Amino acid sequence: MKIYEARVAPNPRRVRIFLAEKGIDMQYVELDVMGGENLSPALRAKNPSTKVPFLELDDGTCIGESVAICRYFEELQPEPPLFGRTPLEKAQVEMWNRQVEFFFIQPLMFAVQHGAGIFKDRMTPIPVWGEESAKNARAYLDQLDRHLTNNSYLVGDYFSVADISLLCAVDFAKVAKIRLSDEWPHLQLWHQLVSGRPSAQA
């Protein structure tokens, strides 16, 4: 099997870190997403959403969406568990992963795409929406900072895929001129903690 990705994009890194935590080796195929290689008919046939990363199994079946790929490997190799260990923890991981996605990653991507105008060959940038999204992304970091006052990770003392999602987004956020600062001290501590894991180099 192999994963098609673009090394600089934040979502492929989520999967690389996840696989590093699991100790799973993978073959990667780099796509020129800026040049539109992912939009070719051949790649669209494999991955209709055109987003990276996507996983191709040996029988040709393809799975898109970083979290769906992670879940596949969680099922194949449960240890160490990264989606939660109990029903409650699994629900909490799902909640945090979704909230990070909806309230930070998506606004961040809108800020980048509508603000900087990358991908304007394939979408309609609306600069005012880019600005509003950057504001929303920052406002969510305020909320997260409060949450991390009493939690080492997003789900208490348990490192999960939700932390991986947030790490990749926070590191990518400099593209939208959002950088962790003393404004968010607990988020800074959390960032040091998760960045210190060997998987963060993946």
Does residue 149 interact with a copy of itself by CB under 8 A?
A: no
CB of 98 to a copy of itself, least distance (A): 5
Of 28, 37, 46, 64, which one interacts with a copy of itself (CB under 8 A)? 64
Q: Which is nearer to a copy of itself, 9 or 200 (CB)?
A: 9
Of residues 84, 79, 24, the one with CA closest to residue 55: 24
Sign of CA dihedral 18, 20, 26, 30: positive
Q: Give the residues across from 155 on adjacent strands.
A: 158
Does residue 26 interact with a copy of itself by CB under 8 A?
A: no
CB of 144 to a copy of itself, least distance (A): 10
Of 31, 67, 108, 164, which one interacts with a copy of itself (CB under 8 A)? 67
Q: Give the residues across from 56 on adjacent strands.
A: 2, 62
**Residue that is written with structure tokens 């934040």 in the block:** 10
* 43 alpha-carbon distance from chain centroid: 22
- Site size toward a copy of itself (CB under 8 A) is 34
- The angle at the Cα of 171, spanning 12 to 17, to the nearest 5 degrees, equals 40
In this structure, the chain runs to a length of 202
CB of 162 to a copy of itself, least distance (A): 11
Range in contact with a copy of itself (rule: CB under 8 A) among 25-33, 91-99, 168-176, 188-196 = 91-99
Does residue 134 interact with a copy of itself by CB under 8 A?
A: no
Does residue 28 interact with a copy of itself by CB under 8 A?
A: no
Of 26, 116, 118, 126, which one interacts with a copy of itself (CB under 8 A)? 126
**Long-range pairs of 147-150 with CB within 8 A, sequence gap ≥ 24:** 148/186, 148/187, 148/189, 148/190, 149/186
Range in contact with a copy of itself (rule: CB under 8 A) among 9-17, 30-38, 102-110, 167-175 = 102-110
- The angle at the Cα of 116, spanning 115 to 117, to the nearest 5 degrees, equals 90
Calpha distance 44→128 (Å, rounded): 31
- Judged by the rule CB under 8 A, the positions of this chain that interact with a copy of itself are 48-49, 57, 61, 63-65, 67-69, 71-72, 75-76, 86-88, 90-92, 94-95, 98-99, 102-103, 106, 124, 126, 128-129, 132, 143, 147
